[in-house]
Structure 1
Amino acid sequence: MLPLNLQSDLIQTAEALADAARLAILPHFRSANLQADNKLSQGFDPVTQADRAAEIAMRDVLAERRPMDAIFGEEFGVTSGESGLTWVLDPIDGTRGFLSGTPTWGVLIALSDESGPQMGIIDQPYTGERFIGGFGRADWTGPHGGGTMQVRTTQTIQDAIVFTTFPEVGTPEQAAAFGRVAARAKLARYGMDCYAYALLAAGHIDLVIEAGLQAYDIQAPIAVIEAAGGIVTDWEGNPAHNGGTALAASTPELHAQALALLKKTG
């Protein structure tokens, strides 16, 4: 357990990172001059000047406040540290949504040690919402106020609202697995990027199921959801903080039912 004064400093640093990312990103959102480069030779994985500017801004904050910590960022990779702590940064999770003008993207900030994420922020600059989890906190703030986050108490798939980002989810086999859950759920929705994880933590939906993730896509959501009382694993029930597949659920009972459907063959 980290000392309370260190926990407070780390949370203040995380909020400073989110503030810096907001300032760097918002001038580009819904801008007529916004352009994107494609990271892939086949397919489309966009990166914009806003992605790069936000990560640079966050790295500048860390260089001033926490130069002893390591950094793992989507755009500029790994910078080593000596404290045993790593800041895991996704400056814009949901760049496709960002390009499309939808407010479903967000800034993901996690603080991790060798065991995984200990604290995280999901920040949506355009709507002004911020979701923080870890070190005894599970709260949100936004233009209409704020409060404590608590996941829903849904017990069965039949009563659950489930989200994923892409209808195809991942491989054909993974899409079929998601389909088994969606077919039994009360409601399935698509295309929310990291905002879906925030909605789960805040008690509005019950399940988020995704595949093809990187560590920087999932570490902040894990911290936020677990702080709000939820559970996040991969599709085998193992830790998900290194990426791959993710199953986030509001209750253990719901997680177990969804996990069985995802693992079902035939």
Structure 2
Amino acid sequence: MPSYAADLTLAGHLADSADAITTARFRAIDLEVRSKPDRTPVTDADTAVEDAIRESLAAERPSDAVAGEERGGEQWSSGRTWILDPIDGTKNFSRGGPVWATLIALVEDGTPVVGMVSAPLLGRRWWAAAGEGAWLRDNTGSRKISVSGVSALEDAYLSTTDLNTWTEYHSRDAYLKLTEACWETRAFGDFWHHCLVAEGAIDLAAEPIVNPWDVAPMQVLLTEAGGRFSDLSGKPAFDTGTALSSNGLVHEAALATLQQR
């Protein structure tokens, strides 16, 4: 297996530069917020972060492609492509909530091989590279992480992002069946619940609608943590529009429940 250590180091430097921009603009009185065509918000911090990362990648990895939420680019089926979400959780960021992060992934021939998730206001950063394990840094230091050992849905801890999206994009009834089958449910949302699955704090994170840049780092993070990442049909892919993260042990049972419409 090739080594992605240098790419992972670069991803860390890119996250450092992103954190410097986002923390400086967080709760700024002159923060500019506008709505995109899909009615989701974008701030001047989103575009500034993506522009800064693209500039660094142009210098450090000039032969690699780049795809980002704000500036576009959608080719990652072949070659090397960096996929960027400058601020995942922009609604939280724009409202002054602390739960948001910069997401960076390196995808090689369609498969994520490096993932970086940096949430500076939470004081947490998660990262992984193929063959290198999954890691977390918080106020206690850095440590290798792994998923939980919960093996039954009735003992599982489940999270989603927005319950209303299940009505529009999948099945609210199917998701409610899953909540009823699980021990505990929350809506940590966005990047956070996938990372919590990777570190073993919860067991399942399900989303009926995602963009590739929302979850590209999560596939390698979950896999390296010993878990499983797929879409809601069970396909191990980050770019089909849905997502299910788990410890692996409860994955099939969750998929079966969500397919009951």
TM-score for both structures, normalised by structure 2: 0.93
1:243 CA drift (Å): 3.6
- Paired residues of 1:237 and 1:259 also in contact (CA < 8 A): yes
1:130 aligns to what?
125
Offset from partner CA, 1:205-260 (integer Å, 9 cap, x none): 00000022111111111111111011011111112311411111112x30011000
Which of residues 138, 141, 145 is equivalent to 1:142? 138
2:163 match: secondary structure: coil
SS at match of 1:19: helix
- The TM-score, its normalising length taken from structure 1, stands at 0.91
The 1:112/1:53 distance shift into structure 2, 3 A limit, reads same
* Matching of residue 157 in structure 1 with residue 153 in structure 2: yes
User: 4+ residue runs of structure 1 moved beyond 4 angstroms?
Assistant: none
**For residues 210 and 39 of structure 1, what CA distance do their matches in structure 2 show?**
21
**Partners of 1:30 and 1:13 in 2: how far apart?**
28
Residue 235 of structure 1: SS of its match in structure 2? Answer: coil
- Matched pairs, number: 258
2:87 maps to which of 73, 92, 105:
92
Q: 1:28 aligns with which of 25, 43, 47?
A: 25
Contact 1:21/1:58 (<8 A) preserved: yes
Q: Distance in 1 between matches of 2:189 and 2:209?
A: 15
Q: CA RMSD in A?
A: 1.8
Q: Give the secondary structure class of the aligned counterpart of 1:170.
A: helix
Cα distance in 1, alignment partners of residues 206 and 171 from structure 2:
10
> Does the aligned pair in 1 maintain the 2:228–2:247 contact within 8 Å?
yes
User: Is 1:184 the equivalent of 2:181?
Assistant: yes
Q: Say if 2:14 and 2:53, in contact at 8 Å, map to a contact too.
A: yes
Maintained 8 Å contact 2:116/2:128: yes
Give the corresponding residue for 1:264: 260
C-alpha distance in 2 between matches for 1:179 and 1:30: 35
Which stretch shifts more, 161-170 or 205-214? Answer: 161-170
Which secondary structure does the structure 2 equivalent of 1:212 belong to? coil
CA distance in 1, matches of 2:140, 2:239: 34
Equivalence for 2:171: 174
Residue 51 (str. 1) matches residue 46 (str. 2) = yes
Please list every run of 5 or more consecutive structure 2 residues that lacks an aligned counterpart in the other structure: none
Q: Secondary structure of 2:66's match?
A: strand
Once the two structures are superposed, the pairs formed by residues 99-138 of structure 1 within 5 Å of their partners are 99-135=94-130, 136-138=132-134
Retained in 2: the 8 A contact 1:197–1:221?
yes
Partner Cα distance (2:74, 2:257) in 1: 39
Aligned to 2:242, the other structure's residue is in SS state strand
Moved more, 104-113 or 133-142: 133-142
